[in-house]
A and B are shown apart, each in its own frame.
Chain A
Amino acid sequence: MRKHRSNGFWPALRGNRKAMTGAVILLVFTLVAAFPGLFTSVRDPNALLSPPSLQPSGAHWLGTTSLGQDIYAQLVYGTRQSLIIAVVAGAFATVLSVLIGVSAAYLGGVFDDLLSMLTNVMLVIPAFPLIIILSKYAGKGSLTVMLAVLVATGWSYGANQLRAQALSLRNRDFLESARVRGERRGYIIVFEVLPTMTSLIVANFLGAALYSVLSAAGLQFLGLGDPNSSSWGTMLYWSQNQQALLTGSPLWSLAPGLCVALLGAAFALINYAFDEIGNPALRPVRTNARTRVKTVKKRGQRVQRAESQ
């Protein structure tokens, strides 16, 4: 039998245009975050170096802020924090989701009841007001606090999904086979159950990352972040604070907003590839136009597109 790993990650990614687009966007952002110096000559984006409120020009591609900072440079340097938030908060939230969701499913009984109750309570509480309240009282401005808050509010949705899937897996014969083999419970959960759930876990991560990007931007816009840091959200805060849209520097608001949206979209697009890996039924049948099947036409029906070889 021919050996083709048709359910591998790379083939799915390559074959899926949406996911490739998302991956490319993410790659670009990652490079910008890692090597900001390659993308702009400005070394300190917060320094008040230039004349304020300039229009876009050759020297300042997106113009300058009302305080005299290069907008494009701020955008470049802000990428790092936004990306870090997305990835770190997303990762921790996913880890929590996995721990709680899968344990609840596998341990069952009283543990399941307790963990499910916890999950459901967190789900029901409106997230954004909660985030605002937590940020306000936990100490405004610290990145660590923001990450903690995002993780605390972002894990519950994934936990429910993962629990549902783990439950459906619970009675699969290969798990019973592992039990009968004598494997310990912890081993089974980590090495037998989780690997079959990778696509869902990765999809969860992407969803959590998306959620973190948007929520972080929102928090910072509201002034609950550190106003002195460089990030897109802070740019949104300052530009709104300085009435950028009304005073002729719309790019100061639009550019960071667009970047937030783009990064979020990147995560969402990559998710498409994982849907397909996880559920082969969603894979579109990719056919060679030459060999498409010619079908018998029905009375009164238009002829089907018949391209037979």
Chain B
Amino acid sequence: MSSAPNHSDPSSDHEPLLDVRGLRVSYQSSRGPVEAVGGVDLRVGRGEFVGVVGESGCGKSTLLFAVAQLLSPPAAITDGSVEFKGQNLVRLTEKQLNALRWRDYSVVMQSAMNALNPVTTIAAQFKDAILAHDRRSAEQIRARSVEVLQLVGIDPVHLGSYPHQLSGGMRQRAMIAMALLFTPDLVIMDEPTSALDVVAQRSLMVQIKELQQLLGFAVVFVTHDMSLVSHFSDRLLVMYAGQVVEAGPTRQVFDAPAHPYSRGLLDAFPSIHGPRVPLTGIPGSPPDLAEPPPGCRFAPRCPVVEEACHRVAPALYPVGGVLSRCLLDAPDRRTPATPVEATS
């Protein structure tokens, strides 16, 4: 069942570039169907940088793959829509998708060493990518390849290099260059910095932000490293057990996280400034999505859990400028608990 137009993701007023509503993804496992993404809404405006944050198993990568229409069996989209520039990607055929891929949106994968072909040169891979989506002459291909490499700060002489001849940071930047070949409107990135060291990570993020401001594309950035994305994103979505548990402007989510999981996550980052305080992290582990708990999925680990939380599945409630999936933030909180049926 598709959700009512109750956008759980506040965004800018004008027509969003990407509008994901009620997206559900399930996959078959030997223990029955597992819902990896359970009804996610995501809106991205033009030129916006949206961070999707969560730990392993929260469904963020699955969400990303679903949005990019890259899921393969046994995983499949079971509900919801992905509106991109007015078209619902879920209902398009492969041919129609191909017309959009790389030109209107592109994807940067997690590990460049896995995504780049080790036996061909960078130039050959760029050429492949270009020719797969458009007719260009050899001249134009070369010119464009040089241009994108310069954009990311790689000396064009490396066009003739093989991936293993480049350092980790350079490979990752080459991936980003490849994603920008057609200057798409949306670039989806799946943890592009996780294989890099902290200094290279910082430098890559700065680069991405600069490029974004220069070329005006929107970014959906999936990561487990909340603090990394904090300086660069306009809005942040926090995912847990397949659901969005908090969404809002980045500064707001950081300065005043509403959901206990976001709070716990932020608290789990030891700081290098300020006094040294003992931290506790979040005890326990995420629920088994083959048998998710009734009620709130974070209840078993929540430090402020109440009795109703085990029974009632919370929806996303607006609180202080963000949306939070927590019963304690429900608008009728002050009245005695009447179980509210979740609508999304």
Q: A interface vs B, CB < 8 Å?
A: 6, 283, 285-288, 291-296, 298-301
Contacts and interface: CB of A to CB of B under 8 A. Distances in A.
Chain B binding surface, main DSSP class: strand
B77 A296 contact: yes
B93 A292 contact: no
Interface of B: 26-30, 32-33, 74, 76-80, 90-93
B77 A6 contact: no
B32 A287 contact: yes
Contacts of A300: 93
A177 B310 CA distance: 42
A283 B29 CA distance: 11
Contacts of B32: 287-288, 291
Given A293-B27, A294-B78, A296-B76, 20 more contacts: A285-B28, A285-B74, A286-B30, A287-B30, A287-B32, A288-B32, A291-B32, A291-B33, A292-B28, A293-B26, A293-B76, A293-B78, A295-B77, A296-B77, A296-B78, A298-B92, A298-B93, A299-B91, A299-B92, A300-B93
Best-surrounded residue of B27, B28, B29 (most CB of chain A within 10 A):
B28
A299 B33 contact: no
Contacts of A285: 28-30, 74
23 contacts: A6-B30, A283-B30, A285-B28, A285-B30, A287-B28, A287-B32, A288-B32, A291-B32, A292-B28, A292-B33, A293-B27, A293-B33, A293-B78, A294-B78, A295-B77, A295-B78, A296-B76, A296-B77, A296-B80, A296-B90, A296-B91, A298-B90, A301-B93
Nearest to B71: A295
Contacts of B28: 285, 287, 292-293
Given A293-B26, A293-B76, A298 B33 contact: no
Contacts, number: 41
Contacts of A288: 32
Contacts of A294: 78
Contact of B79 (A286, A292, A296, A298): A296
Nearest to B288: A1
B30 A298 contact: no
A286 B74 CA distance: 11
Contacts of A296: 76-80, 90-91
A286 B33 CA distance: 11
B73 to A, nearest CB: 9
Contacts of A295: 76-78
B89 to A, nearest CB: 10
A48 to B, nearest CB: 59
Contacts of B77: 295-296
A107 to B, nearest CB: 28
B91 A298 contact: yes
Nearest to B35: A293
A6 B79 CA distance: 31
Contacts of A291: 32-33
B81 to A, nearest CB: 9
A301 B76 CA distance: 15
Contacts of A6: 30
A299 B78 CA distance: 15
Nearest to A285: B28
A283 B26 CA distance: 19
Q: Which 6 pairs between the two chains have the least Cβ-Cβ distance?
A: A295-B76, A293-B33, A293-B26, A291-B32, A285-B28, A299-B91
A286 B91 CA distance: 28
Contacts of A283: 30
A287 B28 CA distance: 7
A300 B33 CA distance: 26
Contacts of B78: 293-296
Nearest to B26: A293
A249 B108 CA distance: 70
Contacts of A292: 28, 33
A156 B26 CA distance: 46
Nearest to B29: A285
Nearest to B291: A2
A15 to B, nearest CB: 10
A286 B79 CA distance: 23
A291 B31 CA distance: 10
A296 B21 CA distance: 14
Contacts of B30: 6, 283, 285-287
A49 to B, nearest CB: 57
Nearest to B34: A293
Instruction: Give the residue among B26, B30, B76, B77 with the most A Cβ atoms within 10 A.
Output: B30
A256 B93 CA distance: 56
A171 B79 CA distance: 44
Nearest to A283: B30
A292 B27 CA distance: 9
Contacts of B74: 285
